[in-house]
Structure 1
Amino acid sequence: MQGANPDGLSSAYRRAKLAWYTIDQTYYTSGQSKPQNISSNDPSLSNHYTRGIERSEIFPNRDLGATGNSFEFSFDMAYYPGERGQYNYTPEVSTTDERKFANQAPTANAARYGGISREITFDTDFDNANVEYLEFWLMDPFIAGPNGQINDSENAPRTILQVVICT
């Protein structure tokens, strides 16, 4: 909120919900630890928002070696601009669901934000750690077709990002 005290509770009144997670790699393989209720032809394994990302998809010219083509670990995020985020104690909540903001207008949702941060705890000398670059691979949130549908029973996220950090 403009003009709000940055030290008080009101500093977080525009913070919206941001969910982040990783999907276990066993869902994409045929190993013994794969849950029995997930079959190889499960539609969720081909949905672009939940499918595995093969290493050759990001690095098509890289030699995969004897281990073959394994999957990259992705860091998935879903942003819900209509829901209150972490540590948001705004009194302006919906009368039917206090998790949601009272004002659900597109202009109000556009003014909200969500964010996460984490320090780099390993060797911060990237030359010494042999890190040449950090790559962020962002997925288009407006994919057409059945593999681009968002299967969320309650909320349709405004944007879903699947981030792969390669070092």
Structure 2
Amino acid sequence: LFLFARNHPVFSLPEDKASFIRHTLTCMKQKMDETDNHFRREMMQSMFLTMVYEVSNVIYSVQSRTSEHNTRAEEIFTKFILLVENNFRTERRVSWYSEQLCISPKYLSETIKNVSKRTPNEWIDAYVTMELRMLLRNTQRSIKEIAQSLNFSNQSFLGKYFKEHVGMSPSEYRRS
């Protein structure tokens, strides 16, 4: 999806899909106005995700109809992102990802930076911090349990990592 969006910053939605998104936005507006609804936030998140999935589905179908051939660099990027999505909870070393792709860490770093304008470490950190934010906000698990589930050596290291990337401690984030 990232590569498609980069190469096609503007594309047309079929009218039925555009109508669905307009309808969903109207429903979201109505839910935002229901201040007494205890699940308003969760419903908004679900409706927003529904729209993202709908647009993503359109992108996938457009992608499958176009016969664009990805460059080697784009193929490496796609494989790297798939590896990160499946392994970021346990692996944060660029060298591990380069080993899985059978290329050198330097080549991986240069390739990912050229394709996405972000380094492999930035991609990995983005996935880890997004997961941390989600776990801190949407679960009652302790910070120690979260640290263990994301393969941090201890709770203190998770705290330093989170503060470096988010700007506040996990406890502060959870309270905010």
The TM tier, using the shorter chain, reads under 0.3
Whose helix fraction is larger, Structure 1's or Structure 2's? Answer: 2
Q: TM-score, normalised by structure 2?
A: 0.23
Q: TM-score, normalised by structure 1?
A: 0.24
Query: Which of structures 1 and 2 has the larger relative contact order (alpha carbons within 8 angstroms, sep 6+)?
Result: 1
Whose strand fraction is larger, Structure 1's or Structure 2's? Answer: 1
